[in-house]
Structure 1
Amino acid sequence: MASSARIFIASIHWNDEEVLRSHWNNAVLDLVRALGPDRVFLSIYESGSYDNTKGAIRELDADLEDLDVPRKVVLSDVTHEDDIQAPDAEKGEGWIDTDEGERELRRIPYLARLRNQSLQPLEELARVGVVFDSVLFLNDVVFTPGDVLELLDTNGGDYAAACSLDFSNPPSYYDTFALRDSHGNGHVTHSWPYFRSSTSRRAMKVLAPVPVSSCWNGMVAMPALPFYEHLRFRGISDSLAQSHLEGSECCLIHADNPLALHRETFLNPRVRVGYHGSAYDAVHPVTKWLSPWQIFKGLWANRVLRWMTTDAFKEWRVRSRVRRWEESDGYGESLEPGEFCLINEMHVLKPWGWAHA
C-alpha cells in the first residue's frame, strides 16, 4: 500500500472497557502515530455499554485530541434493554416471531445497523471532498501497528478484503461465524490448518495469504471504493430468517462486495490478534507460532476429519430452505447471494447480549 494512502478506521464497542484500557486504546494511538494523524479518520460508535466503556473511550478521545486526529466518537445511551422494549408498533423490519410466541429483535440486523452507523462519517466526508483509499475495521482486539501494516499490505495491497486471524482460546480460532474457505465451506478443525478447501489449506500451510470466500476475524481491511458505491452491512431478510437461518453481517458484506468478482478475499495468517493479552501472546511466541508437533497433529486431524465428515447435509438443509423462500413470492424475485454464509440458527438480542432462538 502506498505510503500516502488514506485510511478510514471504523470500530464499534459494547462492554469492552477492560481490553480498551489494557491494550486497545494505546494500540490505536500507536497506530495513528505510525500511519500519520493527517492520513487517518477514526470513527468510534459505542452502544449502551453497562460497564465503563464510555469512560475508556473518553480517555482515548482526549489523547486523540492531543494528536489532532480527525475523528467522530458517538457514545449512545440506548441499551439492549431499550431496543428490546420497543413499542409493538415499531417491531417491524429486523424483528422475528420465535417458537416461544414472542416477537423478538434479531441480532444480526441490529449489529449491521451499528456497523453502518460507524460508516456514516465516510459518506459525510465524501460530500465535502474528503475521501479515503481503504477502510480498516477494528474489533476490540489486542493488536500492534505492525499487525495493521502487515494486514494492509496483504498480497501487495491487491485484494477485495484482507482479514487477520483471531483467537480467544488458542490454538482454536474465534470467529467461526464469518470465516468461509475458498469454496464457501466452514472450518473442518478449529485449530491449524482449519480448512476443507485444498486451495485455502495449501496457502495456510506456508502462511501465505489464504484465499477465502469471507472472513472477519478481528481486523479487516477493504478498499474504500465499494463503500462510496453504497456497499453496506445487512442481515438476511426477516422472511428467510423465519425459516431458522442466519448469516453474519460480516460474511454477507463479502457476498455483496462487487470487488469480490475480480479480486480475491484473503485471510492473512501472519496477522494474528487476540481478545485478551494472553491470547495474543500465545499466538506470538518467541519461537515459531507452530511447533513440529502442532503441525503434525493439525495436518492429521484435518485429514481424518475431511475423510470422515461432510458438510453435504448441512448444505442441503440450508439450500432447501433458501429454495423454498425463493419460490414463495411466486415471482422469482427473492434472492440471497450470501447463501454460503448461512447456518441453521436464529439469533435474537437479549439485555446481556444475545441468545439462540
Structure 2
Amino acid sequence: MKLDSLSPCLPKHRPRPDDYFLLHTSTRTRHADPPASPIPAAARLFASTAVLTLLAAIPLCVFFHTLSSLFIYLSLVLFALPVVSFWIVSWHRGRRIAVACVYMLFLLWTWRQMQEDLSATSVVSSSGSSGARTDRKVFIASNLHNNQHVLPYYLAALQQLVQQLGVYSTYVSIYESHSTDRTKPMLTALDHDLSNLGVQHRIRMDDAQTKVGLGQHRNGRIEFLAYVRNVALEPLQQLWDQGQRFTHVLWINDVFFKPHDLVALLETDGGRYDQVCAMDFIGNGFYDVWVTRDRRGRTARRAWPYFAAKQEQQALRKGEPFLVNSCWNGATAFDARWFVRSNTTSPQHPAPRDTLSTNDTQDVNANTREPALHLPLRFRTSPRCFSSECQLLSLDMHRAVSPRRPRIWINPRVAVAYERRTFWQYTWLERWWVTAPWRSVWRDGIGMWMTQWYAFWPDLCGKWLEGWAAGDAPLAAKPYALSPRVG
C-alpha cells in the first residue's frame, strides 16, 4: 500500500529550505512601512497649522468687520495648536475625548464670561452705589439720532451709571432730533424709568432745527452739531441759578460703555482736570483722530500706538493718563465751571442759525479771525478753518488760560466703541490674559515696527487755529480767574 493513500493529509512534497525564506520575505514585505513622503514631517506640520489658523481667522475677521493680527493669534492659540496637538500626541481614544471636552468647556465658559461682562443685563444687575460721593454732582449730557442699535445697552448702562454716581447727585439731559427708527419711543421709556428712579432729567425730542446731514454743507453740519450740543447744555445754567452746583459735565456719545469705567473717567487725576477723555474705537483702531491733538499739536492715527511721541506711547502701554491739546473720543468729562455763568462772566448763548455758513467749499479762510473768547464756553464753529465743534471747545480753554496749559487728559483705561463687537475687541479680547504674548511680541514689537508707514491724520487747520499752548507750557493753576467757582 502506498503511503499517499494511507495519509491523505500529509504534504505532497517535502518543503525545501528556500520555501521558508520566500515565505518570510513575502510576509515582511506585506507589513513594511509605506514609502516616505517627499515632504518632511515638520513642513507638513507647519502647513497644517497654517491652514487651520487661516480657516479660523477668516470667520473672526468677518464677524468683527476688520482685519487684525489679533485674530490670527487667537486662531493659532485657541484652535490650530490644540487641534494639531491632539493629532500628533499618542493618547488613547478615551483620553483624547476627555481632554477635548474639557477644552471645549473652557472655550464655552470664556465666551460666556465675555458676553456676561459686556451685556446690558449684567450692567443692570451689577452693584449700584459703589461710585456715589457726596462731594460730586454730575450733569450728564447726550445727543442721539437713529440709535436704536445701541440704545438697549446704552439705556441700561446709563441707568446703572446714575445709580453708581447717586440718583440725587446726577442730572440727565438728552436732546434727540430727526430720528426715523425706534429712538423716540425708546427714549420715552427711559423718561419713565428715570422718573421711577427719582433722577432729575430732561429728555427733549423735536425736529424744529433744520438737520444738516453728512455730505451736505460742511460748516453747516458743524453749525447744526454745535446747536444741538448747546441745547443739551441748557438745563445746566438754569439749575445753577437755582442753587444746584454741579462739579462735572459728562458727555456721552451713542457708544457702548461700562458704567464703572465712566466713574473712573470722572475720577481721573482726582477730578482736578478741565477736561478728560476716554478712547473711542472702530474696527480698525482709534476713531476720533479728527479732534484729538497731542500736547505738541500733532494729530493721531488709527493704528497702534496712535500717537507719535514716546511719552504718550509709554502711557498707553501702562494705562496711565497723559496730557493732550484736545480730545472728545466718545465720552468726555469737564469741570462744570466752564459752562456756567457767574458774576465774573458774561452770558453768551448762541441762538440757532437759519442760514448756513458760506465757507463750505474750502478748508481755510485766511481773511477771517477766530471770534473773541466768551465765557461760559459754548460749542461753536470756526469762520477761519473747517474744524469740529468739539476741538474748538478745547481750543477756547487754551485761549482762556494762555500762555499756560489747561488740564486736558486722555485716560486710556477707559474705552468706548460704536459697535458691540468692536467693544468686545478693545475692552475684552485685547486686555485678556491669553493675548498678553500678542501684545508684547506683536503689537508693541514687530507689528509696531511694520506699521510705521501708517499715516497720521492730516492737520489742515493746524497753523490757522491760533491760541494753543506751547508743548512745554506749564499747567495753569486752578481755580482760574476767568472760570466761575463752585459756590
4+ residue stretches of structure 1 with deviation over 2 A?
Answer: 82-85, 102-105, 258-264, 288-306, 308-312, 317-320, 335-340
Change (3 A) 1:292 1:213: farther
Task: Report % sequence identity.
Answer: 33
CA distance in 2, matches of 1:319, 1:166: 22
Match for 1:18: what amino acid?
H
Who is 1:250 aligned against?
Answer: 390
CA distance in 2, matches of 1:289, 1:185: 34
Who is 2:437 aligned against?
Answer: 292
Who is 2:299 aligned against?
Answer: 186
Match for 1:157: what amino acid?
G
Give structure 1 stretches of 5+ with no counterpart: 86-97, 323-334, 341-357
Change (3 A) 1:132 1:294: same
Who is 1:206 aligned against?
Answer: 318
Q: Secondary structure at the residue paired with 2:313?
A: helix
Choose the corresponding residue for 1:227, options 301, 315, 339. Answer: 339
RMSD: 3.0
Q: Within 5 Å, give how 1:50-129 maps onto structure 2.
A: 50-78=180-208, 82-83=210-211, 106-129=220-243
CA distance in 2, matches of 1:194, 1:294: 15
Who is 1:39 aligned against?
Answer: 169
Who is 2:104 aligned against?
Answer: none
Q: Within 5 Å, give how 1:275-290 maps onto structure 2.
A: 275-285=418-428, 287-288=432-433
Structure number with the bigger relative contact order (C-alpha 8 A, sep ≥ 6) is 1
Q: Is the 8 A contact 1:136 1:220 kept in 2?
A: yes
**Between 55-64 and 285-294, the greater mean CA deviation after superposition:** 285-294
Who is 2:94 aligned against?
Answer: none
TM-score, normalised to structure 1, is 0.75
CA distance in 2, matches of 1:233, 1:302: 37
User: Is the counterpart of residue 197 in structure 1 residue 304 in structure 2?
Assistant: no
- For each residue in 1:316-344, what CA deviation from the matched residue of structure 2 results, as whole angstroms up to 9, or x when unmatched? x6467x3xxxxxxxxxxxx743699xxxx
Who is 1:12 aligned against?
Answer: 143
Q: Is the 8 A contact 1:160 1:259 kept in 2?
A: no
Q: Is the 8 A contact 2:212 2:220 kept in 1?
A: no
User: Is the counterpart of residue 25 in structure 1 residue 25 in structure 2?
Assistant: no
What's the CA shift for 1:136?
0.3
**Between 203-212 and 8-17, the greater mean CA deviation after superposition:** 203-212
CA distance in 2, matches of 1:275, 1:310: 23
What's the CA shift for 1:293?
2.6
- For each residue in 1:143-189, what CA deviation from the matched residue of structure 2 results, as whole angstroms up to 9, or x when unmatched? 1221111101112222221111112215x12112111112111114x
Who is 1:354 aligned against?
Answer: none
Match for 2:394: what amino acid?
H
Change (3 A) 1:297 1:211: farther
- For each residue in 1:187-246, what CA deviation from the matched residue of structure 2 results, as whole angstroms up to 9, or x when unmatched? 14x232210123322211211002211111111011101111411111111xx24xxxx2
Q: Is the 8 A contact 1:142 1:276 kept in 2?
A: yes
What's the CA shift for 1:59?
0.8
CA distance in 2, matches of 1:2, 1:35: 4
CA distance in 1, matches of 2:233, 2:439: 40
What's the CA shift for 1:295?
4.1
CA distance in 1, matches of 2:434, 2:279: 13
Choose the corresponding residue for 1:176, options 289, 292, 309. Answer: 289
CA distance in 2, matches of 1:197, 1:148: 26
CA distance in 1, matches of 2:237, 2:150: 29
More strand by share: 1
Change (3 A) 1:339 1:126: same
Change (3 A) 1:195 1:63: same
Q: Secondary structure at the residue paired with 1:291?
A: helix
Who is 2:416 aligned against?
Answer: 273
Q: Which has the larger radius of gyration?
A: 2
Give structure 2 stretches of 5+ with no counterpart: 1-130, 341-374, 471-487
